Amino acid sequence: MDNAGLILALAGAVSAALFAGIGSAYGVGLAGRAGAGAITENPDLFSKVLILQLLPGTQGIYGLLVAFVTLSQIGLLGGGAAELTAGQGLMYLLSCLPIAVVGLISAIYQGQTSVAAIGVVTKKPDQFGKAMLFPAMVETYAILALLNSILAVFSL
Amino acid sequence: MKKDYTYAVARIRGREMSLFGQPVMEQLLSCGTYEEALRFLADKGWGDPEKPLTAENILDAETEKTWNLISEMVKDMSVFDVFRIADDYHNLKAAIKLAYTKKEMDRSRLFVTGGRVEAEAVEKAARERDFTGLPADMAKAGAEALDTLLHTGDGQLCDIILDRASLEETYRAGKAAEDEVLRDYAVLTVAAADIRIATRCGRVGKSLDFTERALADCAELDTEALARAALNGTDAVAEYLEKTAYAPAAEALRQSPAAFEKWCDDLIISHIRPQKYNPFTLGPLAAYILARRNEIKCVRMVLSCRQNSLPEEAIRERLREMYV
């Protein structure tokens, strides 16, 4: 197949956006349900709960960022697709995997941790800062995966 | 598809904030008179403002509020059958006795809400002696109880048929329940009821046959051994319990029936307490229902002690541990 390299690279870009996006949709949805429950009882919590709900949404953005960079690198955004060997295409695919896989899993766990944090804020609104730290810690690994993918894609 | 309780649990977290803890119970206890205690509860938002301020009205309204809240959030209420079966059998018992005596009585004082079947349907079934519209186990027990009552006129025999059927159905519902809280609750409810029945039978000198008939099957207790122990009194029952998983209950049972009841309720509260930190599953909802029941029971105790001018000490020794 002549364009196997391009297909592999495109598969990498698509995976980054797809899996990280799925994870974020799940995480934000889960935290949103908890947030809705919390504000049903106390509408004053809206802003705090909204921040906690948004935390698992970042993985989707990271995945999209890696997908854009990859598409740009392989020339698909500019209109002129680069000539890639299968080996080069595979390298793009592998470069995209960290944010695809870690993005998916970390967004799900971050959503669950956000739900727990919403429980804390419901009972103790003044502990919002501390409660937010727990889901924020999960973000660390999504950021590490983003750095890994971005550096790898740029260096190819 | 697995049921999702994330929204409901988050709402319950908010509601848990208004549950009575020990400090609020202390405030209630410090109310000098029955009327003062009622006013304190009304100030806390208890009761229905449109109804007169009486203990029964307040406590009934709170029970109703709990079930209304839960039914708002949970579409399939059958997950809580473990809690609702006893109410159904209570209504069935009342309906059968009403049909037998043919007396005209105030329905609101006889029947309770919160069961799986409407009280009117239960009453109609007993009046027409056609139980086919009720859940299968209930229909069978209802027909047997009514038949026994008509043939023997023995209300106690009718009661033990229905009580045993209620406990056994609760036990089966608990075993089939998806959540650990419901499973634990069902087992403890049936085991505690068996211990209570055996102790009472022993105290009033009932025969071995009667006691065995009254005890509900429960894998956690050997009902035959329990019934035999009951023949020799409360100490023998306590001795038997020491050989079972309910060994800690033995001391409470020796102390007094009230101490045993308190032991059972406190055990349930200690079982459900970890649900305060569980953000998913049905467990926190079940725990909230149990916490509300416990709260209502404690308030009922305080009010009835105040109404009967009992000393504060008598109330304190009966007060249960609170969930929050």
Q: How confident is the model over B35-50, as pLDDT tens digits? A: 999 999 999 999 999 9
Distance CA A109, CA A24 (A): 10
Residues B146-160: what's their mean pLDDT?
93
Looking up tokens 């501390």 gives A130
Tens digits of per-residue pLDDT, A104-139? 999 999 999 999 999 999 999 999 999 999 999 999
CB A49 within 8 A of CB A39: yes
pLDDT of residue B170: 96
- Name the residue in chain B with its Cα closest to that of A43: B14
Mean pLDDT, range B117-138, rounded to an integer: 93
- Does the pLDDT of residue A2 top 80, yes or no? no
CB within 8 Å: B9 and A34 = yes
State the average pLDDT over residues B276-293. 93
Q: Give the residue numbers spanning the domain of B129.
A: 6-318
pLDDT (average), residues A3-16:
94
Band of pLDDT at residue B71, cut at 50, 70 and 90? very high
CATH topology of domain A4-155: Four Helix Bundle (Hemerythrin (Met), subunit A) (1.20.120)
pLDDT value at position B305?
A: 87
Distance CA B189, CA B293 (A): 14
Cβ–Cβ under 8 Å, residues B84 and B115: yes
Average pLDDT of the segment spanning B124-141: 94
- Tell me whether residue A134 is exposed, middle or buried, using C-beta atoms within 10 angstroms of its C-beta: 0 to 12, 13 to 18, 19 or more: middle
Give the percent of chain B with pLDDT over 70: 99
Q: For residues B194 and B315, which has the higher predicted lDDT (pLDDT)? A: B194
CB atoms within 10 A of CB B105: 11
Under the banding of pLDDT at 50, 70 and 90, the label for residue B140 is very high
**What residues of chain B lie within 8 A of the CB of A40, using their CB?**
11, 14
Q: Could you give the CA distance from residue B122 to residue B85 in angstroms, rounded to a whole number?
A: 13
Residue B162 zone, left/alpha/beta (φ > 0; ψ -120 to 50; rest): alpha
Q: Which residue has the higher pLDDT, A1 or B34?
A: B34
Any domain includes B66: yes
Q: Tell if the CB–CB gap between A38 and B14 is shorter than 8 Å.
A: yes
User: B108: pLDDT confidence band, cut at 50, 70 and 90?
Assistant: confident
Q: Residue range B132-147: average pLDDT?
A: 94
Residue B324 lies in a domain: no
On the 0-12 / 13-18 / 19+ scale of CB atoms within 10 A, B309 is: exposed
d(CA B303, CA B291): 18
Please report the sign of the dihedral spanned by the C-alpha atoms of residue A65, residue A70, residue A76, residue A77.
positive
pLDDT the model gives residue A1:
66
Contact: A42, B14; criterion CB under 8 Å: yes
How confident is residue B308, by pLDDT bands cut at 50, 70 and 90?
Answer: confident
A63 closest CA partner among A30, A95, A111, A31: A95
pLDDT for the residue numbered B1: 55
The confidence score (pLDDT) of residue B316 equals: 82
Q: Is B297 on the interface with A (CB under 8 A)?
A: no
What is the distance in angstroms between the Cα of A32 and the nearest Cα belonging to chain B?
8
Domain ranges for chain A, please list them. 4-155
- Region B283-312 average pLDDT: 91
Asked whether the beta carbons of B7 and A37 are under 8 A apart, the reply is: yes
According to DSSP H, which parts of A42-85 are helical? Answer: 46-54, 58-73
**Inter-chain Cβ pairs, chain A and chain B, closer than 8 A:** 54
Q: Taking the CA atoms of B34, B35, B40 and B42 in sequence, report the sign of the dihedral they define.
A: positive
The model's pLDDT over A42-82, given as tens digits with 9 standing for 90+, comes to 999 999 999 999 999 999 999 999 999 999 999 888 778 88
Please, how many CA atoms are within 13 Å of residue B164, restricted to the half-sphere of its CB? 20
| Distance in angstroms (rounded) separating the CA atoms of residues B97 and B119 | 14
Residues in chain A with CB shorter than 8 Å from the CB of B275 are none
Task: Give the integer Cα–Cα distance in Å for A125 and A109.
Answer: 22
d(CA B147, CA B317): 43
> Could A33 and B280 be called an inter-chain contact, meaning their C-beta atoms sit closer than 8 Å?
no
Average pLDDT taken over every residue of chain B: 91
Torsion of the alpha carbons at B32, B35, B41 and B44, rounded to the nearest 10: -90
Rg (CA), chain B: 20
ipTM: 0.86
Return the residue matching tokens 């889960």: A30
**Which chain A residues have a beta carbon less than 8 Å from that of B45?**
none
Task: Please identify among residues 272-291 of chain B the ones whose CB lies closer than 8 Å to any CB of chain A.
Answer: 279-280
**Residue B207, both tokens:** 């025969």
The shortest C-alpha distance from A50 to chain B (Å) reads 14
